Amino acid sequence: MKRHWISEKGKKMGEKKGFFKRLVEGLTKTRNNIVSGIDSIFSGFSAIDEDFYEEIEEILIMGDLGINATTAIIEDLKQKVKEQHIKEPSACKQLLIDSIKAQMNVGETAYEFENRQSVVLVIGVNGVGKTTSIGKLAGKLKDQGKKVILAAADTFRAAAGEQLTEWAHRAGVEIISGQEGSDPAAVVYDAIQASKARHADVLLCDTAGRIHNKKNLMAELGKINRVIDREYPEAYRETLVVLDGTTGQNALAQARQFSEIADITGIILTKLDGTAKGGIAVAIHSELGIPVKYIGVGESIDDLQKFDADEFVNALFDVKDSEEEE
């Protein structure tokens, strides 16, 4: 795997453009699923009627946008059509795009943890790219000049600690870990002491995600949270769930289960390159009220980026904005 570290100063539009291009490519299957169908509706209907709306609704649901988001998008579209006295189906496309964007606004304080002394818990089931995402996030924060410490608190899975250590070395950040099978809360305790002693900006904790054993996971996260409350009450708190974008509605189900046992503040959606289920990003936000904060479209460090609703929906519809057109 190539090492890609880009300093914040050296970040040019090139990186942004490169990511947008990869996002456009990654969302090709989703786009084929959704957009080609929508285009045929816009060109195939001569009038805006209930059938027209029903066809759009069906395509959005098939594209994994979910019932909630789709209903809200269609209602919004109907209202705008009425207010603006639109008669031509083709004139609805931009309205539809704007409506989808409006469903996904992340909010101003989404990345507040970057500006504060913070503890970020990252949870997720095996195989979703959790440890890799933490490694990439550590690299990004380090590039912003932050002092980052990693806590390997997923002590249940033997390979998790080794994998995270590899990422820590690559990112040039410190890692605190325990023995395999040791108490995750004890690892977090040690990491908090290290963070305070070294005046770290961000403590990133890799925690287990054994969702099939809800009771144990709940107890484990509860214990970790009590340790943080007691030892580091001044820290800003963030809890991110990593979900595999290729699993579509299963990712939504996982997010729902995690939100029942922890106060989830955001989602990292991985593996969006090559999935036909990219619409799930819209569904998660709409159904659970949890914003997607980062998305991953590949293996390199640059392939994990902050989620940008405009950029995502533009990529979904392959709409060029002025910055990408050069």
Please provide the DSSP assignment of 40-69 as one string: HHHHH-SS--HHHHHHHHHHHHHTT--HHH
Q: At residue 200, does pLDDT exceed 80? A: yes
* pLDDT at position 326: 40
Average pLDDT across the chain, whole number: 84
Q: At residue 278, does pLDDT exceed 80? A: no
Reduce the DSSP state of residue 35 to 3 states and report it: helix
* pLDDT at position 264: 93
* pLDDT at position 89: 86
Q: How does residue 320 score in pLDDT terms, banded at 50, 70 and 90?
A: low
**179: in domain:** yes
- Write the pLDDT tens digit of every residue in 139-179: 999 999 999 999 999 887 767 778 899 989 988 999 999 87
Selected residue with higher pLDDT from 136 and 279: 136
**259: in domain:** yes
The boundaries of the domain holding residue 200 are 112-306
Selected residue with higher pLDDT from 147 and 43: 147
**286: in domain:** yes
Q: At residue 239, does pLDDT exceed 50? A: yes
Residue 254 belongs to domain with CATH number: 3.40.50.300
Backbone angles phi, psi at 95, to 5 degrees: -60, -40
Q: How does residue 275 score in pLDDT terms, banded at 50, 70 and 90?
A: low
On whether the CB atoms of residues 292 and 3 are closer than 8 A, the answer is no
* pLDDT at position 4: 44
Pairwise CA distance, residues 307 & 314, whole Å: 12
Q: At residue 325, does pLDDT exceed 50? A: no
Total domain count, the chain: 1
CA angle 289, 238, 285 (to 5 degrees): 15
CA angle 78, 84, 90 (to 5 degrees): 70
Backbone angles phi, psi at 294, to 5 degrees: -135, 150
**200: in domain:** yes
Reduce the DSSP state of residue 218 to 3 states and report it: helix
The mean pLDDT of 129-134, rounded to a whole number, is: 90
On whether the CB atoms of residues 304 and 140 are closer than 8 A, the answer is yes
Residue 271 — left, alpha, or beta (φ > 0 → left; ψ -120 to 50 → alpha)? left
**262: in domain:** yes
- Write the pLDDT tens digit of every residue in 213-236: 778 888 889 999 999 999 999 999
DSSP state of 175: E
**165: in domain:** yes
Q: At residue 96, does pLDDT exceed 80? A: yes
On whether the CB atoms of residues 159 and 166 are closer than 8 A, the answer is no
**60: in domain:** no
**46: in domain:** no
Q: At residue 133, does pLDDT exceed 90? A: yes
* pLDDT at position 3: 43
* pLDDT at position 113: 93
Q: How does residue 14 score in pLDDT terms, banded at 50, 70 and 90?
A: low
